[in-house]
């Protein structure tokens, strides 16, 4: 493999990679590409890209995009991917896979194995699937990828339609994969691990066939790819991109996701040391709007809830339903106007260009942030949302970091090299693949390094206390 990370050891077999069928072209995302390499983007999904936006009305959940000269012809085949979800599916794994694969240009179908399209995941997030699994039974997919989580992996295992689809996928030598509990709980009972080297979450490792069980974060064995858990899901997803689109695509995707390839994976700069400990369960508010960055919101919510923090996701839209930057549909906990009646220990602003634009127009949120700071309570931002704090004068004399596309706004106070920066009651993060460090830093400040390390262990993520 060409992209081993110090935080993610890789083991592969001799037939790891499969050639791409066509050259990928343009990435389209909420932030400008960091390189000139282009990916093919699935035009049917919700897209957010500032240099090509025509007009988006206040209520719109999709936007129009100018045609790009570099996009390949519509006559070329799309890579079709199936990602099933069920009650108790792991939040981070499902969302990271969907987001990354859609970024790379795959036509991803999120299919519910439940009677309804609305599915509550293991961390409490409610996603709205694109379709029912029954609608996928006659389709051919280039990849079937199973997220883990409990009881999500059991719900997938017990779905006969999904079992038939995945068995056919394996029989016809097309790509399939599973992460976390799913290799042991779902694929093993279906007989799809025979003669395959496999890994899974440490809690289920003893269920794997001993001879072919491999203690590694990523294992590729012919058509099957397996991985250990939420903390390895970025690597898992990028590996799937490589197998679908080729080595160059995976390399550029790693850069685009801001995946740190240095030895110092997590670096937290603390300036004015202020302990965040509170004498009650910390309450956290995350306001969201259409165009929110899927990975950032779901990752932070999932990890904070694992630490038993009381997290409220509040929609600034007129409805609870919001659509993410890659078309992932989520149901918020409540409307922001209702959440504003409560007091929160921390307010976190997520990224996503369209989301940031809508958040900074919210009078309710402006008032909340002003009261949060004046009352000496904590606040933070991730990815492109530090620009909201900057415009409200809330970064004055503060050290901060942000996505490279908005770093110039932070002037001399910008900390370019850090994934996460804590300066007094302010915490900021670069975004995307740094979201786990961001959430763990919050847990450490409120609850101590012990709990942060415990949560990281469950994620199969290396926690490095600052």
CA distance 438 to 433: 10
CA distance 315 to 339: 9
Q: Is 180 a catalytic residue?
A: no
Q: Residue 414 is encoded by which pair of tokens?
A: 């910008």
The single residue of 233, 355, 383, 447 carrying the catalytic annotation is 383
DSSP-derived secondary structure for 331-398: E-SEEHHHHTTS--SEEEE---HHHHHHHTT-HHHHHHHHHHHHTT-EEEEETTTHHHHHHTTTTTT-
Contact 86, 114 (CB under 8 A): yes
Residues 6+ apart with CB under 8 A from 15: 222
β-bridge mates for residue 110, sequence order = 83
Look at residue 227 and give its three-state secondary structure: strand
Q: What are the distances in angstroms from CA 40 to CA 69, 178, 224?
A: 11, 25, 24
Handedness of CA 32, 36, 39, 41 (dihedral sign): positive
Q: Residue 322 is encoded by which pair of tokens?
A: 């919001």
Q: Report the catalytic residues.
A: 383
């Amino acid at each position: 493999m060409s992209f081993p990370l110090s935080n993610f050891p890789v083991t592969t077999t001799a037939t790891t990679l499969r050639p791409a069928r066509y050259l990928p072209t343009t990435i389209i995302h909420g932030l400008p590409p960091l390189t000139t390499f282009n990916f093919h983007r699935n035009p049917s999904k919700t897209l957010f890209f500032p240099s090509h936006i025509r007009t988006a009305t206040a209520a719109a959940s999709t936007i129009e995009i100018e045609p790009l000269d570099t996009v390949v012809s519509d006559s070329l085949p799309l890579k079709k991917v199936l990602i099933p979800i069920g009650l108790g599916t792991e939040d981070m794994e499902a969302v990271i896979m969907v987001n990354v694969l859609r970024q790379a240009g795959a036509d991803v179908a999120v299919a519910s194995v439940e009677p309804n399209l609305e599915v509550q995941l293991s961390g409490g997030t409610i996603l709205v699937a694109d379709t029912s699994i029954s609608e996928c039974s006659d389709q051919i997919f280039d990849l079937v990828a199973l997220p883990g989580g409990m009881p999500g992996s059991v719900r997938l295992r017990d779905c006969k339609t999904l079992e038939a689809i995945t068995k056919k996928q394996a029989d016809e030598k097309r790509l399939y994969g599973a992460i976390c509990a799913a290799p042991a709980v779902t694929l093993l009972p279906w007989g799809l691990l025979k003669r395959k080297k496999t890994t899974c979450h440490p809690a289920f490792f003893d269920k794997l066939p001993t001879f072919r069980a491999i203690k590694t974060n990523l294992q590729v064995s012919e058509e099957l790819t397996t991985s250990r858990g939420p903390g390895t899901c970025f690597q898992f997803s990028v590996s799937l991109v490589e197998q679908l689109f080729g080595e160059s695509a995976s390399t550029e995707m790693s850069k685009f996701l801001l995946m740190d390839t240095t030895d110092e994976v997590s670096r937290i700069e603390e300036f004015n040391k202020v302990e965040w400990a509170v004498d009650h369960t910390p309450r956290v508010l995350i306001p969201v709007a259409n165009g929110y960055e899927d990975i950032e919101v779901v990752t932070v919510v999932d990890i904070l809830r694992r630490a038993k923090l009381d997290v409220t996701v509040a929609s600034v839209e007129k409805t609870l339903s919001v659509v993410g930057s890659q078309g992932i549909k989520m149901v918020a906990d409540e409307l922001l106007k209702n959440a504003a009646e409560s007091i929160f220990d921390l307010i976190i602003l997520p990224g996503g260009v369209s989301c940031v634009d809508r958040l900074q127009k919210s009078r309710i949120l402006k008032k909340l942030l002003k009261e949060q700071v004046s009352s000496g309570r904590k606040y933070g931002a991730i990815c492109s949302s530090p620009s909201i704090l900057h415009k409200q004068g809330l970064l004055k004399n503060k050290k901060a970091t942000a996505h490279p596309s908005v770093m110039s706004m932070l002037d001399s106070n910008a900390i370019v090299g850090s994934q996460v920066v804590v300066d007094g009651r302010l915490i900021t993060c670069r975004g995307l693949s740094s979201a786990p460090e961001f959430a763990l830093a919050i847990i450490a400040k409120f609850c101590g390094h012990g709990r942060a390390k415990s949560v990281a262990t469950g994620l199969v993520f290396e926690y490095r206390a600052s």
